[in-house]
Each structure stands twice: as structure tokens, then as C-alpha cells.
Amino acid sequence: MQKVVAAGIGITKFGEHWNKSLRELAVEAALKAINDAEIEHEQIDAIWIGNMSSGRFIGQEHLGALIASDLGLNCGATRVEAACASGGLAIRQTYLALLSEKIDCALVIGVEKMTDLPTEEATVTLAAASDQEWEAYYGVTFPGLYAMLAKKHMHEFGTTREQLALVAVKNHEHGSLNPIAQFRNRITVEDVLNSSPVAEPLNLLDCSPISDGAAAILLCREDFLKPEKPVYLVASGHAVDTIALHERTSLTEITATKLAAKRAYEEAGIKPEQIDFAEVHDCFTIAEILAYEDLGFCEKGNGGKFVEDGETSLQGRIPVNTSGGLKSCGHPVGATGVKQAVETVLQLREEAGERQVKGARIGLTHNVGGSGATCVVHIWKKEF
């Protein structure tokens, strides 16, 4: 069977880019990936672009043609939307196309320009990924939805406010070592607990920021291009659940994560304990704790203790969010899933600098849309 290899990666700094447009960010990341792969532009057969809501954020649709033309390419270019999982799903669509052997080499770009809108309007735009009739109509935005998940988890399993805060503390520690991170400051549990309340029990420092940025990865069939340090995308799992929380069977797990992970593990022929590190979707601190459990890294209900015991730090049993995660690195929503892949390739190439996970051979990326209605899980492996 043909293998899919990561031939090149590129990423911009995440943050507030007042002097750069969406197209400039996308092109910057794309050119870095192309140069990293050392290929010619005309060797690219297709482009997939992960983007949640450029029409609402900046008034620009038709991103496929826009970005392809700015790159001087006439190949097929397709935008993929799955809320905050848009980047991960763009990678999956590319992976499937490469396995079909219809194309040899494709460019995946994740991009979002969010800070052109005031915070209130950006929040309304993000709420479009929730159920408009049953949630957004009543004024519930994503902090409120994830707060409900947090309260239920705390009630059923005794998860503490301090354990939630430790997720943010850990990810800021990791992000302080990442030169492209939006926030490189270290924080304490007290900082999180004393930050402005957003939706009980979540405070400001429990929440990922509004960000601008882009990331890109060039994926190829192995017989087309095999880099000196080959990192392979060996499995892809995708699943969905109801958008509205009230229709779910449980508020203490993300069913889409469990199903997507199961499919990815089965395709890769591995078990959760074989994963050396992971980039997971920590849009809110409770989301990372749920991910530990739903991905099989610890037992259900033990996610709070898992982070408290240091298991997910750089020195822990399974480092999680070495990039700083969405919390510290930033969350330009369409770019996040591709950023996770870029970080994973850097780790597996042993090019992650001070945040390098020693001896890592298998990495996992976990990208979620909405409050868990969509999930894409990818497994990456190095072979050198």
C-alpha cells in the first residue's frame, strides 16, 4: 500500500497581525512548506484549505482560487469547513486523495484572520458553529457550552478547579518555548483562578484566545518524494456527534473523539499507550482533560489527576500540547489542525528545540469542531 509522507512544513507566527491579510498569511506559510520540501510549484497537484469563516471574519469567500492564484498555481484548490476542525479535516481529505492515487503531491493550508472584528462580533461568528436554534438563539456561546461540560465533569468525578487551571499553566510553560506562540508568558494556578470570570467555572485564562495565523504542510505519496527525515501520516479517523449538547447521551465525554480515535488506532494498528506525545484541542481547559480520557491516555474521570500528576508535561509519560496548545500558542480556528501537524512533524524530525520530546517516534493530533460535534484524529510516525 502506498504511504503518505510529510514532505514540507511551514507556519507563521500566531497572534494579532494588523499589517497582514489572510491571503498574505496563507501564502507565507505555504511558501515555507514548499521551500522546506525543496520542490517546484508546478509539482503540486492540488490544494486543500482549512478555514472556518473567512466570509464572516473578513468578508472573503472563494479561498481556493484566491490563495492558489496568489501562489501562481492553476491546480484544483478546495476550501474545507468543519468549524475549528477545518484544518484537520483538510488534512484528512488530502490524505484520502493521495491514497486514491489520483494525485501525487498536495498542499494543505490552514488559515484564519479573526482579529479584524471586535471581540463581540468574533464571538458571534464562532457561535455559528453551535446549534443556532437550540443554543446560540438563547445567547449561549462556546465558553458557556464548555462550562456545562466542566461542571458535569466536576460533579461526577470530583475534578477540581485547580486541576483545570493546571492545564493552562502547563500549556503556557510549553508555549514559552515556542517562538511562534501568541502568548509566551508563564502563568500560575493563582493567575488562572484570579483571572476574569467568563462562564462558571471557566475564567479568562481557561480560554483560548482570538488569533490570526496560518500553517501549511505538503503531503506526498512516498514514491513521488521521500525526504531525508521521512515522517508518515499513517492513520486518519473522523467522526461526528450531535451539535447541540442536550441531544447527547453524555456530557462527560466527546463521543466523536472516542470514535475518531478508535478508527485511527485501528488503521495504524497501535494502542493509545504507544503514542509518545499528542497535540490535542484545548480550546478550553476542560477540553484537554476530556481529550486525555477519550483518547485512551487515562481512565474516564481521571483526567484531572492525570494533569495534576505531571503526566502530560514535557517530562511526563505522554507530553501533550508541546506547542503550547490552543491556549498559549493561539487558536486561529481554521489553522489549528494544520498547526498541530506542523508541531508533530517538528517533534518527529527532532527539530523542536527546547520543547523536544526525547525519543519520540509516534505522535497524535486531535482537532475538534464546535463543542465536540466533529473530531479528526491523525497518527504520525517517523521511520529513520
Q: Just list the catalytic residues.
A: 84, 331
Cell numbers found for residue 269: 494498528
DSSP 177: T
Distance CA 153, CA 147 (A): 10
Q: Which residue has the cell 446549534?
A: 131
Distance CA 366, CA 295 (A): 9
Cβ-in-10-Å burial (0-12, 13-18, 19+) of 1 comes to: exposed
Planar angle of CA 364, 334, 24, nearest 5 degrees: 120
CB 126 within 8 A of CB 332: no
What's the full length of the chain, in residues?
A: 384
Contacts of 26 (CB under 8 A, 6+ apart): 49, 63, 67, 70, 109, 111, 214, 216
Contacts of 155 (CB under 8 A, 6+ apart): none
* Dihedral (Cα; 288, 294, 298, 304), 10-degree rounding: 40
What residues does 6 pair with on adjacent strands?
219, 231
Q: What angle do helix axes 285-294 and 161-175 make, rounded to 10 degrees? A: 90
| Helices (H) then strands (E): counts for the chain | 13, 11
Distance CA 41, CA 106 (A): 10
